[in-house]
Amino acid sequence: MINTSEIDNSIESAAQNIAHHDESDNRMFGFIIFLLSESVVFLGFFIGYYVYKTNAVDWLPAGVSGLEIREPAINTVILVSSSFVIYIAERCLRQQNLWGFRFFWLLTMLMGSYFLYGQIIEWQGLKFGFTSGLFGGTFYLLTGFHGLHVLTGVLLQSLMLIRSFIPGNYDKGEFGVEATSLFWHFVDVIWIILFLLLYVWQ
């Protein structure tokens, strides 16, 4: 009696493992599709920006000579390096080093938050608004839409951080952590393109 139920249990847990694993793979597959699809929204905005910029008669609003590049460059370095930090955090989790994971994960969050802070500071110092012609419109739309993604990333990260305190929760790896990390890299790549378009190409 005991023997068979034990065997049943072990088979069942093995089966559950397979099922869990499979489902998590499905979710990753689905999430990657989602990111590919999402990137087309950005692509649309980028193309719009390109068309406006190359065709506009009065691109810059009156009294604006261009964008200050120094602060955003620092911001960029921070955001881009956070992609490496989140990678270290993920590796820690894979090695079952939960505290290492939490440390680097939190560091990523701080870097992301600093980026957002820097963005807000930059916005406050600008002499043009959302409705200041095509330049103002596209600038705030692109940075704002990207900023929304950074914010989403930070919120997802804090959720994953909290969930790491549930005992045994991340023992078998965690889809949420992997997905958040992938999302973060995605947001980063988008920012690099955005930075080149908005600040470098003036």
Partner 1 sequence: MTNISIPEIDIDTNRSHEPEDWRRFFGFSTDHKVIGIQYIVTAFFFFLVGGVFAMIIRGELLTPESDLVDRTVYNAMFTMHGTVMLFLWTFPVLAGLANYLVPLMIGARDMAFPRLNAIAFWMIPIFGIVLIGSFLVPGGPAQSGWWSYPPVSLQNPSGNLINGQFLWLLAIVLSGISSILGAINIVTTIFRMRAPGMTWFRMPVFVWAVLSAQIIQLFGLPALTAGAVLLLCDLVAGTSFYDPAKGGDPVLFQHFFWFYSHPAVYVIILPVFGIFSELFPVYARKPLFGYKVVAVSSLIITGLSAVVWVHHMFASGTPGWMRMLFMFTTMLISVPTGIKVFAWVGTIWGGKLRLDTPMLFAMGGLVMFVFSGITGIMLAAVPVDIHVNNTYFVVGHFHYVIYGATVMGIYAALYHWFPKMTGRMYNEGLGKLHFALTFLGTNLNFFPMHPLGLQGMPRRVASYDPEFAFWNVIASLGGFLLGMSTLPFLVNIVGSWVQGKKVSANPWRAIGLEWLIASPPPHENFEELPIVVAEPYGYGMNEPLVSNADKL
Which CB, 54 or 65, lies closer to partner 1?
A: 54
Specify whether the CB–CB gap between 35 and 182 falls below 8 A: yes
By the 10 Å C-beta count (0-12 exposed, 13-18 middle, 19+ buried), 29 is classed as exposed
Check if the beta carbon of residue 190 is closer than 8 Å to that of residue 142: no
The nearer residue to partner 1, 116 or 141, going by C-beta atoms, is 141
DSSP assignment of 136-170, as one string? HHHHHHHHHHHHHHHHHHHHHHHHHHHHTTSTTTT
Contacts with partner 1 by CB under 8 A lie at: 11-12, 14-16, 18-19, 22, 25-27, 29-30, 33-34, 36-41, 43-45, 48, 51-52, 55-58, 130-131, 133-134, 136-138, 141, 145
Q: Least distance from C-beta 68 to partner 1, angstroms?
A: 22
Nearer to partner 1, 55 or 70 (CB): 55
| CB neighbour list of residue 10: distance below 8 Å, 6 or more residues apart | none
**Shortest Å distance, C-beta 99 to partner 1:** 33
First to last CA, the chain: 77
Of 21 and 94, which has the nearer Cβ to partner 1? 21
Instruction: Indicate the angle between helix axes 98-125 and 133-163, nearest 10 degrees.
Output: 160
Type of residue at 128: F
d(CA 112, CA 118): 10
Q: How far is the CB of 7 from partner 1 (least distance, A)?
A: 12
CB of 77 to partner 1, least distance (A): 28
Q: Which is nearer to partner 1, 9 or 169 (CB)?
A: 9
Rounded to a whole number of angstroms, the minimum distance from the CB of residue 88 to partner 1 is: 30
